[in-house]
Amino acid sequence: MKEARILITGATGCVGQYTSKWLLNNTQADLLLWVRDPKKLTSINLKNPRVKLLVGDIRNPELFAKDLTTTTHVIHTATAWGDLERTQQVNILAVKKILSFLNPLILQKFIYFSTASILNKQLQLLPQTIKYGTEYIQTKAKCLKELEMHSLSEKIIAVFPTLVFGGKYDNSGIFPSSYLTQGLKEAVNWLWLARWFKGYSKFHFIHAEDIAFICGHLLTKYDLEESNNDNKRITKIVLGQPSLSIDQAINILLRWKGMRRFCSIPLWRWLIESLINILPIKISSWDRLIIKQRHFIHDPVKAPEDFGGTSFAKTLHEILFHSGLPKSKNSF
State whether the Cα torsion 285-288-293-295 is positive or negative: positive
pLDDT value for 210: 98
Structural domains for the chain? 5-164+205-239 (3.40.50.720), 170-203+242-297+310-323 (no CATH)
pLDDT digits (tens, 9 = 90+) for 2-52: 689 999 999 999 999 999 999 999 999 999 999 999 999 999 999 999 999
pLDDT on residue 249 = 93
| pLDDT cut 70: percent of the chain above it | 88
Mean pLDDT of the chain: 89
The answer to whether 19 and 77 have CB atoms below 8 angstroms apart is: yes
Tell me what pLDDT residue 92 has.
95
**pLDDT number for residue 229:** 45
pLDDT score of 169 = 95
**Which tens digit of pLDDT belongs to each residue from 106-148?**
999 999 999 998 988 888 888 888 887 889 999 999 999 999 9
Q: What pLDDT is recorded for position 261? A: 85
Bridge partners for 158 per DSSP: 112, 236
Prior bond to 242 cis, omega within 30? no
pLDDT at 84: 84
The radius of gyration computed from the CA coordinates of the chain, to the nearest angstrom, equals: 20
The pLDDT of residue 123 is 84
- Residue range 237-286, pLDDT digits in tens: 999 999 999 899 999 999 999 998 877 777 666 555 555 565 656 666 65
Q: Is pLDDT above 70 for 230?
A: no
pTM: 0.92
pLDDT value for 295: 55
| Strand pairing report for 205-207 and 109-113 | unpaired
> In the prediction, which pLDDT does 49 show?
96
pLDDT value at residue 275: 57
| Residues present in the chain in total | 332
